[in-house]
Structure formats: structure tokens, C-alpha cells
Amino acid sequence: MTDFVDSFEDEDPFDSAGLRLTVDLTALTENWKEMARRSGRARAAAVVKADAYGTGIEDAGEALYLAGARDFFVATADEGVTLRPYAPDARIFVLSGIWPGTERKFFGYDLVPVISSEEQLAFWMAVLADYGDHPCALHIDTGFNRLGLSMDDAIALADDVSRPASFAPVLIMSHLTCGDDHSSEMNRQQLESFRQVSAAYEGIASSLAASAGVFLGSDYHFDLTRPGITLYGGEAVQGMKNPMRPVVTAEARIIQVRTVTAGQFVSYGRALQLTRDSRLAVVSAGYADGYLRSQSSGGVPLRQVVPQGGQGFLAGRKVPIAGRITMDLTIFDVTDIPENAVRAGDYVELFGKNVLVDDVARSAGTIGYEILTSIGLRHERRYLVEEE
């Protein structure tokens, strides 16, 4: 048994994986540099929450750090702990803030909590009394009505002469609710509100713009921008051509190619009836892998609103999904591809350079963020870096 296993040690698991994910770290860092350029005088942070949007926080975080990023945003303290060895002297902000039981992570790994509520603020003051000085950030709600101190409370805090000297925010931040819609008047309203708060904290860095906000122009940049989805190649602004490079390619192996006659039905619920003799490729990806069921060509509510389902890419052309996507398998109609160009073992691109992640998202009735952050655990990963 040992000899049999050892004989396969030199094989690359990527070459035989049922699901493959290629992350182009060069494209990732070039996208960050582009967002840094567009940020003008402001520093550009890197948002690497949700496992760096599904790409892997360790590899993506290290690549961004080596490219020059020195400010990072994560969602949880555990994400910050994971990132710290790969961004040794960077400032890591934790967007969910600090809660009882997490104090040692913030002080031990030099993480910066983003304080978003009166409850967190009171707890943070108590922590400072026990642990000593430590930086924090303040999140102010300027109209999103999600997280954040109210403007009145934030301005009152800025003017509170009784606050302890150990309370020393290093960043004031807010978040745009309609940043992806440049025609929305809400952007200007939030900008004016944030200017009021920022003025109350004179001398402390301010941040309003995430990816979409960067494209709104210099008025929104302040001292620090927070690009996220754009780093990973996704669209940030409605109706604008995406200037970012694709970063992630997902592929699934064809398990079987089968011939089915006209009139027969395909997949669960007989959602698709074939109108011609067809060849179907069954691949090893399904909704358990983040390939959303709502992309199915039929049998799902979305098809009543958006007629066309999702597509893959194979042998130089796009191929449509046939029937419903299932937990572990998806069927593609490959009838229009020459028979000798498709065989079991080949790979279908689910999204990447030929099928853009945002096009996949539109066919699924969602956004590119969800497609990337839904990537499952069964993908064999490969990271690419261009040789200089």
C-alpha cells in the first residue's frame, strides 16, 4: 500500500482536481496599485475580509503587503490574527470591533478595533483602563443605518473634555450607501455629513470611500480609501466599464459527456426539455461549491425575471447550463462544440477571463461579491505570480 501511494507523490494535485481555483496574485497587486493611483493623495488600504473575498487571506494578504499596502481591513479579530504574520508591520482594522473575550487578540496581535456603538465604546474605555493605551477607529453612521455611532454622539465625544487620554482614535470612518450609483444624491448628502464629523476630529485621519467611492472623485478620498471588490477584479460602479483585471478563475472537470435525444428532460424537476438531439457535459461543481442554484437554466424563480441562465466556457466558446444546478454537479449543453473537442477530464471555466464573475452574478440574480465569497472548500488552489 505504501509503495502504491508513494508512486504518486510527484503528481500535482491541481492537474487532477475536480474543482480548480487559480488566483492571479500579479493581477491582484496591479489592481491595488491602480486603486492607489486613483486614490490620489489618499493612502489606499486593502480590504481582505471574508478570506480575501474567497481568494485566501494568507496569500492575498502577503502579496498586497509586498506590493506596498500598509493598511488592511478585516471583519473579525480571528481574520486579523490570521493576517498578522503576512503583514507584519501593517495596521489591521477589525470592522466588527471588540467584544468581551477578544481583548488579548487585539493587544497581542496589535489589531485596531473599529468602534461602532455606544456599547462597544463603553467596553473599550474599560479595556483601556485595564490594558493601557491602544489605537482604535470610530465608525460613524452618516445615513446607511447599519453600523456606526450617530453623528450627534460622535461630535459630542469629540468635544468631551472628560474622555480619558488613553482614548486615542487613529481613524474616523463611514460608509456610503449608494456609492455604486454615481447619480444618487445620497452620496453628496453623506459626504457633507462626514465632513462635519471629520472636522470635529481635526488631526485624525478620515476614510469614507470604499471601492465605489474611489471612483466618485477626490472629494470622497479624504486620507484613506478602502478598496475591496475592485482588488479581486469585480465591478464597483453600475453602468461603468470595469477597469480592473480579472483575478480569479474557477474551473470544474467534466465527469461524463452523454448524448440525449430530443424531447427528453434534463436534471431535477424536468426543468429543461431538449428541443434537439444534444450532447451534455456533466461537471463536478454545484451549489455546495458556491456555484449558485439560481443560475440554473430553468426550474428556478429567477428565470421568470431574467430569461437566460448561466454559462461556462469550453473549447473557445461559451456553453449554457442545462437544467437545474445540483449540490455537486452541473450540466452544460456542449452540442455546438465539435465532438472531438470535448471529452471527460476536460475542464469548463465557471468564471474567469472568459466568463466574468459579474456576468455569472447577474445570471444568478446577485453581485460578484457573493460569487467570490461563496467559493467552497473543495477547490484545489493555485497562485500565480509573474516573473520579473
| Positions marked catalytic | 49, 268
Task: For residue 46, give the C-alpha cell.
Answer: 486593502
Task: For residue 340, give the C-alpha cell.
Answer: 472531438
Let me know: does 368 contact 361? Beta carbons within 8 Å: yes
Terminal CA-CA length for the chain: 43
User: Rounded to whole angstroms, how far apart are CA atoms 305 and 365?
Assistant: 9
Q: Name the nearest CA neighbour of 98 among 127, 67, 71.
A: 127
Nearby residues of 103 by Cβ (< 8 Å), 6 or more positions away: 127, 130, 131
Task: For residue 118, give the C-alpha cell.
Answer: 455606544
Q: What is the dihedral of CA 344, 345, 351, 353, to 10 degrees?
A: -110
Let me know: does 134 contact 128? Beta carbons within 8 Å: yes
Let me know: does 77 contact 111? Beta carbons within 8 Å: yes
Q: Which residues pair with 312 in a beta bridge?
A: 319
Let me know: does 349 contact 299? Beta carbons within 8 Å: no
Q: Name the nearest CA neighbour of 207 among 95, 106, 124.
A: 95
Task: For residue 195, give the C-alpha cell.
Answer: 465632513
Q: Which residues pair with 20 in a beta bridge?
A: 251, 380
Task: For residue 261, give the C-alpha cell.
Answer: 435525444
Reduce the DSSP state of residue 188 to 3 states and report it: helix
Question: In 10 A of CB 212, how many CB atoms?
Answer: 24
Q: Is the four-CA dihedral 35, 139, 143, 370 of positive or negative sign?
A: positive
186 — phi, psi (to 5°)? -60, -30
CB burial of 97-121 (b: ≥16 within 10 Å; e: otherwise) equals: bbeeebbebbeebbbbbbbbbeebb
